[in-house]
Chains A and B, each alone.
Chain A
Amino acid sequence: MIEPSAEEFSTENGPQLTPEVAIANLQSSDLSLRYYAAWWLGKYRVKETAAVDGLIAALEDEADRTELGGYPLRRNAARALGKLGDRKAVPGLIKCLECSDFYVREAAAQSLEMLQDPTAATALIRLLDGGVAKAVQVPGRPHLTQPYEAVLEALGAISAAEAIPLIQPFLEHPFPRVQCAAARAMYQLTQQPIYGELLVKVLEGNDLNLRRVALGDLGAIGYLAAADAIANAKAENSFKLIALKGLLEHQLPQESDTLSISDDAIRVMNLMDSLL
Chain B
Amino acid sequence: MINELIHAVALADTPEQLVKAVQNLAAAKDVAAIPTLIAVFGYNNPTAAAIASAALVDLGEVAVPELLAQIDDYNYGARAYSIRTLAAIAHPRALDVLVSAAATDFAPSVRRAAAKGLGRLHWDKLGVPENQTAVQKALETLFFISQDAEWSIRYAAIVGLQGLANLPDLQQPIHTRLQEILATDNEKSVCARVLLALSQ
Interface residues of A (CB under 8 A from B): 7-10, 234, 236-238, 241-242, 245, 248-249, 252, 256, 259-261, 265-266, 269, 272-273, 276
Min CB distance B160 to A, Å, is: 9
Binds A, one of B33-41, B111-119, B127-135, B170-178: B111-119
Min CB distance A241 to B, Å, is: 5
Min CB distance B123 to A, Å, is: 20
* Interface majority SS (helix, strand, loop, mixed), chain A: helix
Min CB distance A244 to B, Å, is: 9
Task: Enumerate 26 A-B pairs (CB-CB under 8 Å) in ascending A order.
Answer: A8-B109, A9-B107, A10-B106, A234-B46, A236-B109, A237-B109, A237-B112, A238-B108, A238-B152, A241-B155, A245-B151, A245-B152, A248-B188, A249-B188, A249-B189, A252-B189, A259-B191, A260-B195, A261-B192, A261-B199, A265-B192, A269-B193, A269-B196, A273-B116, A276-B115, A276-B116
> A7 — which chain B residues lie within 8 A by C-beta?
108, 150
> A238 — which chain B residues lie within 8 A by C-beta?
108-109, 152
Interface size class of B (residues with CB under 8 A): 20 to 34
Are A8 and B76 in contact, with the CB atoms below 8 A?
Answer: yes
* Interface majority SS (helix, strand, loop, mixed), chain B: helix
B22 contacts the other chain (CB 8 A) = no
> B150 — which chain A residues lie within 8 A by C-beta?
7, 10
Min CB distance B67 to A, Å, is: 18
> B115 — which chain A residues lie within 8 A by C-beta?
276
> A10 — which chain B residues lie within 8 A by C-beta?
106, 150
Min CB distance A243 to B, Å, is: 12
B71 contacts the other chain (CB 8 A) = no
What would 16 more interface pairs be, CB under 8 Å, given A259-B191, A265-B192, A266-B196?
Answer: A8-B76, A8-B108, A234-B46, A237-B80, A238-B108, A242-B152, A245-B151, A248-B192, A259-B192, A260-B195, A261-B192, A269-B192, A269-B193, A269-B196, A272-B155, A276-B116
Are A259 and B116 in contact, with the CB atoms below 8 A?
Answer: no
A265 to B189, CA, bound (A): 9
> A245 — which chain B residues lie within 8 A by C-beta?
151-152, 189
Min CB distance A113 to B, Å, is: 20
Are B188 and A256 in contact, with the CB atoms below 8 A?
Answer: yes
A150 to B168, CA, bound (A): 52
